[in-house]
Chain A
Amino acid sequence: MNQHDDIRDLLSLAAAGALDAAEQRQVEEHLRQCAACRAELESWQRLTGALEALPTPQATVGLVERTRRQLENQIAIRGEQRTRRTLFAWLIVVGWTITFLTWPLFHWGSNLAGILDISVSETGITQVWIGYIVVTWTVTAIVAGLLGHRYRQNHEGSTI
Chain B
Amino acid sequence: MMSRVADAVWGVAVSLECELTRLRSGDVEAVAALMARYQHRLYRYLLRLVRQPATAEDLFQQTWLRVMERIQKYNPQHSFEGWLFALAHNLAIDFLRRHQPESLDDPLPSGDSRVEMIAGSGPGVLEQLLARERAGWMAECVAELPVVFREVLTLRFEEEMRLEEIATVLGLPLGTVKTRLHRALKHLRHAVEEKSGVRN
Tell me the A residues contacting B by CB distance below 8 Å. Answer: 8, 12-13, 15-16, 18, 39-40, 42-44, 46-48, 50-60, 63-64, 66-68, 70-72, 74-75
In the complex, A56→B139 CA distance in Å? 10
Q: Are A46 and B185 in contact (CB under 8 A)?
A: no
Interface 1/0s, chain B 31-59, versus A by CB < 8 A?
A: 11001100110011001000001001100
Q: Which residue of A lies closest to B183 (CB)?
A: A12
- With beta carbons under 8 angstroms apart, the residue of A43, A53, A56, A64 that contacts B123 is A43
Whether B22 is near chain A, meaning CB under 8 Å from some CB there, is no
Q: Are B123 and A57 in contact (CB under 8 A)?
A: no
Q: Chain B interface secondary structure, helix, strand, loop or mixed?
A: helix
Residues of A close to B138: CB separation below 8 A: 50-51, 54
Given A39-B123, A48-B157, A67-B60, A60 and B28 contact (CB-CB distance below 8 Å) = no
Q: Are B185 and A47 in contact (CB under 8 A)?
A: yes
Q: Are A56 and B44 in contact (CB under 8 A)?
A: yes
Given A13-B182, A46-B127, A46-B130, A70 and B65 contact (CB-CB distance below 8 Å) = yes
A-B contact count (CB 8 A): 108
Q: In angstroms, how far is the closest chain A Cβ from the Cβ of B106?
A: 21
In the complex, A3→B11 CA distance in Å? 47
In the complex, A57→B40 CA distance in Å? 8
In the complex, A30→B15 CA distance in Å? 45
- With beta carbons under 8 angstroms apart, the residue of B31, B43, B192 that contacts A47 is B192
Q: In angstroms, how far is the closest chain A Cβ from the Cβ of B134?
A: 5
Given A18-B178, A50-B138, A53-B134, A67 and B156 contact (CB-CB distance below 8 Å) = no
In the complex, A51→B127 CA distance in Å? 14
Q: Are A40 and B61 in contact (CB under 8 A)?
A: no
Residues of A close to B60: CB separation below 8 A: 59, 63, 67
Whether B169 is near chain A, meaning CB under 8 Å from some CB there, is no
Interface 1/0s, chain B 160-187, versus A by CB < 8 A?
A: 1001000000000000001001100110
Given A66-B61, A74-B68, A58 and B40 contact (CB-CB distance below 8 Å) = yes
- With beta carbons under 8 angstroms apart, the residue of A44, A66, A74 that contacts B65 is A74
In the complex, A138→B49 CA distance in Å? 54
Residues of B close to A75: CB separation below 8 A: 26, 28, 68
